[in-house]
Structure 1
């Protein structure tokens, strides 16, 4: 997720706007074999040394376990490798220190935490491994970060405590973003084996999954029990990988957090190529015959400067993504793959805030009808005005935010539940802790605005967000422990469960039933069937997905 940056513009450009701890489950640790012990030995510096297929890495031992940061999983896409599929990492000699995060992939700056500075560095295809001490053949979670496919990095979450509490190995991944990750042009089509370009960032994710398959056993993980997971654009990435033939066999389950927006749809190939031609002109490379060579010579900062205003995301029509994800699911893609999928109850508030209160211009009651018409058109706007009366909300901004969140996230998540339920186990949840603290950068800026259970707020209940331990109260810490239990049991291969709490319902057996995650004083975790009505999905399901 781009967090709020894209939301200052039109909400209807959903792809650009979004485009991203009851007891925990403990793994039964087995004594390491002699072969494995030879791969992971203490170093003289108090860390741990592990051999990967490209060379030895030295990580660190922390209070939570072992961590290995900044491991290259592919050859860096610099020079002539810009806009080419990822290649295996070049081997190195000796022992490589893995005690610091790698570079963030090329991205612009915003006021969001962790995004304050731009990155112009293409040397960024690294991953981070967090492994509990002792044991082997633990389940693995591979986390794909959010950021609207234009920002973010694997370091945005620190899942060391989560790994220890769940007994899982966790891997976080960097992948190419924006134009660097998703440019499609005629010239790039000609270089592609299937004549369809524009999926470089998604191909990076698959390269990371292949690295996990080849190497994770040396860190104590089980390559046969990999769950791919992500939030916002990371969740959308999971949707895409579920539909991609190239990802088959690289994972056994998926977790989608607030990632079903726009029905996980990719860009049509023809439109993506036409957009790429416009981008090339904006970047100063207008001649189609020389555009690709021209773009490859451009400094990364020039590419970054030109990418604003374009929609960046996966491209449909080639071998990577033959058809739209929803059609792929109907045709049998992701058959038998368990999925934990959900959204937050107040997703839209984070995106609407900077458009109104964030600029010191709260939406007024008089402006509300016009804002709906401008956003959704006359017919849908009039219907929304009736279904979202101001009398039901604390303010006109909150009413408008409800329309945005319901359309982009809540109803899309429920549609994804239905689409996947015929293919395998699907567990639906909604994060509904309306007391949850907003992430750091807006706590002060929006201190008088009620963000509720808004976009990204569930992440801090699972991991350290941007390395920060969020100040949760006693009830919120209890909910956090329960959520770690749910996520952990799912990663271990069972239904999502937490001690003393209801099990997340399987949509195959209980269609439409979703677990709402709340603190005890707000009613606790409850299973219900009313979310479709609460989020007015009969209206939004009739409107084409964005």
Structure 2
């Protein structure tokens, strides 16, 4: 990790000196009619699935991709459905209703009550054509939510018929196991595992969906050799993990990593030790007891607000020295043998073109209550004084009041740089250094035309996914032309990347040459917030980046 940061700092220094340059699958079945029927039917490895026609797009909802992860299947790798094992469906599967979301807390403050089901391993497909000769690019969506919340069919935060029709891509979204059911690491579970490891079950679920895509997507009009994985927040972190996983090699060919965590280095042994809090609270001393626990008991016993603090309520705030949260995703030795940046430096993982994107004001979504400049100065001094008095003093100089219209924007910039922007710069720089494929870095700088209730005023966490999915009008009653142009430009850049491995704008060069500033148009800079990131990285703040 230190070497990665050193390399990044060298990159930053060089910028100050540079002169500006300026599969096979089920290919025999083909739907005879792709647009004239209201119930399109497609053959898969497990049998026929029947979907629906929505806005001229073939939509298949709630297709199961593994046995229910309950009882003996709990805390194990997903067991794929198979005719050999007799776990496929008989007849034609009705894929016209979304499957249940995975069990999760009811909200971010109530971790005892829960919604969803354990039987939740379903995915969805949107395709503008079922003609196997079309070979349409495929985009597979991984939803965010701290690896604790969410599903693959949230309105406004998932693919849609409109998106598939506009881009002429096949879209796939998925549910994957979350929270303690998806990411529990315990010695007790490791000893009972065939691999001698535990945890990262949610990542295994994602990999299983990617395997399904390779075997079946051609019959849905998709090209299994042109799969782009994209995800936001912990969905981006998931892709960060899969780029380092040997189990995912060959299963996708591009990646768009949105607002991900940069820190993914907790060892399985450390996580197992931390999670003894859960085992003690559960009262279980063997695997049979764990597998028989009710979901309610699992949630009650999980360490949401005691270390390892899975709730991570401080990640949108300035850090205190030595104050670290736990981690759900771990370096388990099987799904993730090495932390991603270490894996890339060793030539391991998946080497494909990647876009690493972040928002200029990631922390804005989290309702920072800041109204005066005196409050801003006091907050920075109070929070960061544990790192030494020179740290807050220097940061007050690097984020001067004269450059900001409000203290909230000023604080959001500082927190966002510290927690997300600068750490992801390091990640992108390492990938660019060791991948043969091209990698690209961008920061979304355009604000919504008006404040978005419950989200933010500036370029907040999730504004890019809202734009890409084309649902700005669900948040802003009358979107401005600049809002709509942002959607069009983002789709233009990403569409080109999906097709060619390069964004549409020719001025947007790979990571070490440029950072794109995305909005209704694409502008380019050498490096975003160079001086601020140099100072933060040199003073050890990479370790305080977002986790999960």
Q: Could you state the TM-score of these two structures normalised by the residue count of structure 2?
A: 0.81
**Residue 330 of structure 1, aligned match among 345, 356, 360:** 345
Distance in 1 of aligned mates of 2:391 and 2:99: 46
Task: Tell me the SS of whatever aligns to 2:454.
Answer: helix
Q: Describe the shift of the 1:44–1:299 C-alpha distance in structure 2 as closer, same or farther (beyond 3 A).
A: farther
Query: Is the CA contact (8 Å cut-off) linking 1:50 and 1:218 kept in structure 2?
Result: yes
Query: Is the CA contact (8 Å cut-off) linking 2:62 and 2:96 kept in structure 1?
Result: yes
Q: Describe the shift of the 1:34–1:188 C-alpha distance in structure 2 as closer, same or farther (beyond 3 A).
A: closer
**Residue 102 of structure 1, aligned match among 82, 87, 99:** 99
Task: Tell me the SS of whatever aligns to 1:329.
Answer: helix
Task: Tell me the SS of whatever aligns to 2:270.
Answer: helix
Distance in 2 of aligned mates of 1:326 and 1:314: 15
* Equivalence for 1:346: 361
Q: Describe the shift of the 1:406–1:43 C-alpha distance in structure 2 as closer, same or farther (beyond 3 A).
A: closer
Q: Deviations over 1:154-174 (max 9, x none)?
A: 112133222222221110111
**Residue 460 of structure 1, aligned match among 443, 466, 471:** 466
RMSD: 2.9
Number of residue equivalences: 483
Q: Describe the shift of the 1:493–1:46 C-alpha distance in structure 2 as closer, same or farther (beyond 3 A).
A: same
Distance in 2 of aligned mates of 1:237 and 1:324: 13
1:64-213 paired onto structure 2 within 5 Å: 64-89=56-81, 90-110=87-107, 118-133=114-129, 135=131, 136-156=134-154, 157-213=158-214
Distance in 2 of aligned mates of 1:464 and 1:414: 27
Distance in 2 of aligned mates of 1:334 and 1:34: 29
* Equivalence for 2:301: 306
Q: Deviations over 1:304-342 (max 9, x none)?
A: 233323334222141211111111111113464111111
User: Are 1:425 and 2:438 matched, yes or no?
Assistant: yes
Distance in 2 of aligned mates of 1:467 and 1:457: 12
Which of the pair has the greater relative contact order for Cα pairs under 8 Å at 6+ separation? 1
Query: Is the CA contact (8 Å cut-off) linking 1:266 and 1:315 kept in structure 2?
Result: yes
Query: Is the CA contact (8 Å cut-off) linking 1:346 and 1:453 kept in structure 2?
Result: yes
* Equivalence for 1:488: 495
* Equivalence for 2:22: none
Distance in 1 of aligned mates of 2:330 and 2:271: 7
- Quote how far apart the aligned CAs of 1:366 are: 5.9
* Equivalence for 1:408: 419
- Quote how far apart the aligned CAs of 1:133 are: 2.7
* Equivalence for 1:24: none
Gaps of 5+ in 2: 1-25, 82-86, 311-325
Distance in 2 of aligned mates of 1:35 and 1:395: 61
Distance in 1 of aligned mates of 2:59 and 2:338: 38
Distance in 2 of aligned mates of 1:198 and 1:363: 45
Q: Deviations over 1:501-536 (max 9, x none)?
A: 5553223xxx241111123xxxx3211113042653
Distance in 2 of aligned mates of 1:361 and 1:300: 45
Distance in 2 of aligned mates of 1:319 and 1:526: 41
Query: Is the CA contact (8 Å cut-off) linking 2:177 and 2:205 kept in structure 1?
Result: yes
Query: Is the CA contact (8 Å cut-off) linking 1:436 and 1:453 kept in structure 2?
Result: no
Distance in 2 of aligned mates of 1:121 and 1:312: 23
1:378-457 paired onto structure 2 within 5 Å: 378=389, 380-422=391-433, 423=435, 424-435=437-448, 442=454, 451-457=457-463
Gaps of 5+ in 1: 1-32, 444-449
- Quote how far apart the aligned CAs of 1:382 are: 3.9
Structure 1 ranges of 4+ moved more than 6 A = 42-45, 360-363
Distance in 1 of aligned mates of 2:399 and 2:459: 18
- Quote how far apart the aligned CAs of 1:149 are: 0.4
* Equivalence for 2:319: none
1:4-15 paired onto structure 2 within 5 Å: none
Q: Deviations over 1:326-375 (max 9, x none)?
A: 11111113464111111111112123x1x536xx9998246324443268
Task: Tell me the SS of whatever aligns to 1:349.
Answer: helix
